[in-house]
A and B are shown apart, each in its own frame.
Chain A
């Protein structure tokens, strides 16, 4: 006899969907002026896309788009790909309505790929919400950013290794930011998991970061503020609890600097 138990891990087998999902957001300034043109598309496997891009608003300068998960994320075999292209001179604000939890994958893994291309003088402010790797999860996250001339990016991320009082999951995170010519601005591979958080994060389970590229956020020098060789900053905080990872000031400054109207 089988016993039905309540579990916090959604049942993958019942859904039987192909885990691949592709979400695209394209923002352009129309040649003749006027409101920004925003196109979104989402394609999924056998059932539905995992992440839908929803246009919230658009004016002459700025478009606001939310990345809304459809159903449970993130499960074994899921492959989420997000492609964002922002044309010259346009500003995109990307919002996430809630954090993401990667559930126990029982030996399997999932992918989360982001490709972000920002055209000359374009800006992206990405309000990332916590990404939680529950015990037993294994997620490969890859973020590729290409910045055109004068392009700006403010990217907020928070990686949480394990839910409260839980063993950490595993996150392999690759970030590659380059100029349009291919010159590297920041290349970083973080391997975070049960065996490595001790040294990587000083035994804490939350890594919050604010990346600001192409703009000077004017923040004060501080040990948690890494000033990158090619300009820009990476501000990081580690903590035991997500709400204690203090990057709020850095995020406010970075978002303001990236949104600033050019003169």
Chain B
């Protein structure tokens, strides 16, 4: 019997998944260093969901669709790269994809989607996530929710290490932006073509990512 999408989502969204999620702050660390306070974190979460995370979720959904139909991935990767002007952010994404694909290769070794992405050169994280969704039968909306939720939880968990906070506060932030995650999923769930992927950027987040990449003092890799 195939596990339900609910259980698969729990597995993939679990912080205990061995994909080095604890090394990521989703850009929060350089933001905090530049003066972002706890009170700004909810706005930071929403800003990401509307911009860089929308790009990631859109690419993941389109990658999943391309993998399910056997369409080529190169245009999907090109769309992602053209929408990710920061080289530091592209490096981070590719590093995360590597960790995810190592796991996916063990869990779904025969899935054509996983094999196809393992065969490509330096895939991005959303393309790897698209492959995982295709391999385990996760729908486009579930995949988009996973991308949004993971980004939010990554920020919230990093916030606990960077800012003086009660964990119930940061969990409250996550809870309060769930409607925004849902809205993101509605925006991208039906995307099919690389050109249709959102391209919303956030210059400040891109600048922070670049600054952080060359910083010698950091807790998180990105």
Q: Chain A residues in contact with chain B, CB under 8 A?
A: 174, 176-177, 183-191, 196, 198-202, 207, 223-230, 234, 236, 238
Contact = CB atoms under 8 A, between A and B. Distances in A.
Contact of A200 (B79, B85, B194, B203): B203
Given A189-B199, A199-B47, A226 B204 contact: no
Contacts of A202: 34, 204, 207
- Of the listed residues A176, A187, A191, the one surrounded by the most CB atoms of chain B closer than 10 A to its CB is A187
A187 B83 contact: yes
20 contacts: A177-B82, A183-B78, A184-B82, A184-B194, A186-B82, A188-B83, A189-B198, A191-B50, A198-B43, A199-B202, A200-B47, A200-B203, A223-B213, A223-B214, A228-B85, A229-B82, A229-B87, A230-B78, A230-B82, A236-B203
- Of the listed residues B78, B204, B211, B214, the one surrounded by the most CB atoms of chain A closer than 10 A to its CB is B204
B200 A186 contact: no
A158 to B, nearest CB: 13
Contacts of B86: 226
A187 B204 contact: no
Nearest to B34: A202
A186 B78 CA distance: 10
Contacts of B207: 202, 223-224, 236, 238
Given A199-B47, A223-B214, A190 B82 contact: no
B43 A188 contact: no
Interface residues of B, number: 31
Given A184-B82, A226-B210, A229-B84, A238 B204 contact: yes
B98 interface: no
Contacts, number: 81
B115 interface: no
A229 B204 CA distance: 19
Nearest to B87: A227
Given A188-B201, A200-B202, A224-B207, A230 B47 contact: no
Interface of B: 34, 43-44, 47, 50, 78-79, 81-87, 90, 194-195, 198-207, 210-211, 213-214
A201 B204 contact: yes
B177 to A, nearest CB: 14
Top 6 A-B residue pairs of the complex, sorted by shortest distance between their CB atoms: A229-B81, A184-B82, A199-B47, A223-B210, A187-B199, A223-B211
A226 B202 contact: no
A189 B79 CA distance: 13
Contacts of A185: 82
Nearest to B209: A223
B203 A189 contact: no
Contacts of A188: 83, 85, 199, 201
Contact of B203 (A174, A184, A190): A190
Given A190-B203, A201-B204, A224-B210, 5 more contacts: A202-B34, A228-B82, A228-B87, A229-B82, A236-B207
A198 B199 CA distance: 19
Contacts of B202: 199-200
Contacts of A227: 87
B200 A191 contact: yes
Contacts of B78: 183-184, 229-230
Contacts of B90: 229
Contact of A186 (B85, B198, B203): B85
A155 to B, nearest CB: 14
A201 B203 contact: yes
A185 B211 CA distance: 23
Contact of A199 (B82, B194, B204): B204
Nearest to B86: A226
Contacts of A226: 85-87, 206, 210
B99 to A, nearest CB: 21
Contacts of B200: 189-191
Nearest to A176: B199
A59 to B, nearest CB: 35
A192 to B, nearest CB: 9
Given A224-B210, A229-B84, A187 B203 contact: no
A76 B90 CA distance: 39
Contacts of A199: 43-44, 47, 202, 204-205
A202 B203 CA distance: 9
A174 B199 contact: yes
Nearest to B81: A229
Contacts of B213: 223
